Structure 1
């Protein structure tokens, strides 16, 4: 009994140390965003600003048109989330609840494509979109979500769907329901937590995406927050307090979304994969 308690205490201590290691950079970012430049790098570090310089946020967000960058990012993120959720839920339904010839083989091939490096398809994708005339538009960043949905998302939802008893499907068929009605009225409501996990992952990935906008966007008026922050860093590197304030403003929505959806996130991850 004593040995098990010692192991449990050691585990908590290890988790605490790791947590502190991850939290310190975030705390440093937040405190630096409301400090004067002379306070940021003093030794020993001053963790509590005296005084608080809240005007750093106003100055940072007005020097560069972050309002336009936020609007562009929001358009892309919303479009990608809708496309990813719709496509991945339908694909996962087909791989988990419908019997068709070669289903498992196709799914295995789909899963094996996860090992394909993104750099392999980067140039062909760019040339294809440019040939279609969609270079410097949002289409290359949004449209693919409506035709793929993300292989990991399909796998995640498929595993979740397979934990739902097929008795629901059989009862629905007896009542005259078709596959779409089963998908819309039974599977989706029961898999809300898993769908929210997919939406959360998609939001974080799309919000922080830097490579995609860097490749397909050329005009400053179409830049996203990631590109805007890079542009800000290139122009105002010496003004660390403004750079920290801009970085904190970009990171804040991700923190808020995660805190709001963490209950569904933990529930979805816990329940997914109970049945293979």
Structure 2
């Protein structure tokens, strides 16, 4: 009887948990579903006072082509700019964070732990605190204003969170691998490139995916450094698209909200695809690095 009561309580607890999670998931999915259906509506439906979820009549897939053919907005160029910036960010992040993380995990040096703690303490400092001096450094001293350099170069100097993530993963690897490679005549750099890096692939993939998502959605950094519209990223381009499609015209109706929602989906879909493809690596990388530290 006692076992049956425990079993029934567990079933009720699981049922309640799944119901709450399902409601929460539905709440988060409603705006996304509304965005999808709004992107497929006609302009007349958008300006109508009657609120509908599903499009009436035909679904207007041409709204997506309007995103890329909208006059005055070079969306394909924004996409190429974004890909270029993200590629530079990923290269810098992988090189710097793996090297520094490996150094903190494997090398012995006086004051290494103090430097590591000092590096971690930078995570407590909000980025907006250093915004003004960083902006002055890049624009007034280096003269990097209106270029992609302020968006890319800082990532070649690492980031505390990802350095910590890589260090934890490297510390979870057995030392015997490096000792065997050293006996075979391999140097430190060769051991790092050919032995250690392939073994921390889950952590690197997790770092790349999280970095990609942050850089893909970054609006503020390009906003303060880029002035030339031909250098805009997708986040700025979407804002530019909003300014050109949303508003109240002479007849009192709202502008092309359907085109803006199509542009928003163009921003969202690549992130969803990458996340679902790489979610196994993200979970493995974060979980292992969180448990393997010593």
**TM-score grouping bracket, smaller chain normalisation:** over 0.9
1:31–1:49 contact (8 Å) kept in structure 2? no
Deviation by residue 1:128-182 (Cα, 9 ceiling, x = unmatched): 11122210000110111112x2111111111111111222122222222222122
Kindly indicate whether residue 93 of structure 2 is the aligned counterpart of residue 84 of structure 1: yes
Q: TM-score, normalised by structure 1?
A: 0.94
Q: How does 1:216-227 map to 2 (within 5 A)?
A: 216-227=225-236
1:34–1:49 contact (8 Å) kept in structure 2? no
Q: How does 1:183-202 map to 2 (within 5 A)?
A: 183-202=192-211
Q: Alpha-carbon deviation of 1:248? A: 0.9
Kindly indicate whether residue 276 of structure 2 is the aligned counterpart of residue 259 of structure 1: yes
Q: How does 1:233-248 map to 2 (within 5 A)?
A: 233-237=242-246, 238-248=255-265
59, 66, 88: which is aligned to 2:66? 59
Distance 1:185 1:42 in 2: 63
**How well do the aligned residues superpose, as a CA RMSD in angstroms?**
1.6
Distance 2:285 2:52 in 1: 40
Distance 1:4 1:25 in 2: 33
* Higher Cα radius of gyration: 2
Q: Alpha-carbon deviation of 1:48? A: 5.5
Q: Alpha-carbon deviation of 1:38? A: 3.9
Q: Which runs of 5+ in 1 are unaligned?
A: none
20, 33, 40: which is aligned to 2:39? 33
Q: How does 1:9-20 map to 2 (within 5 A)?
A: 9-20=15-26
Q: Alpha-carbon deviation of 1:44? A: 5.8
The number of residues matched between the two structures is: 275
Distance 1:193 1:48 in 2: 42
Q: TM-score, normalised by structure 2?
A: 0.89
Question: Does 80-89 or 33-42 show the bigger shift?
Answer: 33-42
SS of the residue 1:51 aligns to: coil
2:40–2:55 contact (8 Å) kept in structure 1? no
Deviation by residue 1:30-77 (Cα, 9 ceiling, x = unmatched): 111111234357656333553110111111221121011111111100
Distance 1:177 1:85 in 2: 22
Distance 2:20 2:185 in 1: 55
1:88–1:153 contact (8 Å) kept in structure 2? yes
Are the structure 2 counterparts of residues 44 and 127 from structure 1 closer, same or farther at C-alpha, using a change threshold of 3 Å? closer
SS of the residue 1:272 aligns to: helix
Are the structure 2 counterparts of residues 191 and 42 from structure 1 closer, same or farther at C-alpha, using a change threshold of 3 Å? farther
Partner of 2:144: 134
